[in-house]
């Protein structure tokens, strides 16, 4: 009867294990990069939707009140009317409290930049809360530009008019 030698056992070598771990790490790195890109794209889409939602609320407010709300209290006015033009979660952000003209939506700050003294014009701006992490592009919507078209500030291109 032969004794089995230690050399005859089949096992993974250290080099083989290191190669396997390296491949797993490489695949994880590629997946994380793709996941982050998807999250940024989703945040940018949510910012565009947020601009359109805010524009619709401002227009509705103007129809009832014959003017837009003042920029420094616009979110409070839009959320606290009865019935509200915006859901109250536009006001609440644990990081910033109750902003006067700023809301945080899915990694983007959506700001009411300008409402004219006569209350007939507005400009809305959406930019990433953390540039490169929550978003890359910045967007603007101004009711004096081509019927409320949203613009990509970085490229200077229009993204299409808001649906009526």
* pLDDT tens per residue, range 120-141: 788 889 999 888 888 999 999 8
What DSSP letter does each residue of 127-139 carry, written as one string? EESSBTTTBS--E
29-86: pLDDT as tens digits: 888 888 888 899 999 999 999 889 888 898 898 889 888 888 777 888 888 888 888 8
Q: Which residue has the tokens 């089995």?
A: 4
Q: How confident is the model at residue 21 (pLDDT cuts 50, 70, 90)?
A: very high
User: Is the pLDDT higher at 8 or at 11?
Assistant: 11
Name the average pLDDT for the chain. Answer: 81
Read off the pTM: 0.74
Backbone φ, ψ for residue 86 (5° rounding):
-130, 150
Residue 68: the pLDDT is 84
What DSSP letter does each residue of 49-98 carry, written as one string? HHHHHHHHHHHHHHHHHSSPPPGGGHHHHHHHSSS-SS-GGGT-BTTTBS
- The domains of the chain are located at 15-161
89-108: pLDDT as tens digits: 776 555 555 456 777 778 89
Length of the chain: 164
């Amino acid at each position: 009867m032969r004794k089995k030698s230690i050399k005859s056992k089949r096992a993974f070598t250290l080099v083989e294990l290191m190669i396997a771990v390296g491949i797993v790490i490489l695949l994880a790195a590629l997946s994380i990069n793709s996941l982050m890109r998807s999250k940024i794209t989703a945040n940018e889409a949510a910012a565009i939707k947020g601009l359109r939602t805010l524009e619709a609320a401002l227009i509705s407010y103007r129809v009832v009140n014959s003017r837009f709300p003042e920029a420094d209290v616009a979110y409070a006015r839009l959320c606290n009317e009865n019935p509200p033009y915006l859901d109250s979660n536009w006001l609440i952000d644990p990081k910033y409290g109750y902003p006067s003209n700023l809301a945080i939506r899915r990694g983007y700050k959506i700001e009411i930049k300008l409402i004219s003294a006569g209350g007939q014009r507005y400009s809305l701006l959406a930019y990433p809360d953390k540039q490169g992490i929550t978003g890359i592009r910045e967007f603007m919507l101004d009711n004096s530009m081509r019927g409320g078209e949203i613009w990509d500030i970085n490229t200077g291109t229009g993204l299409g008019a808001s649906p009526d």
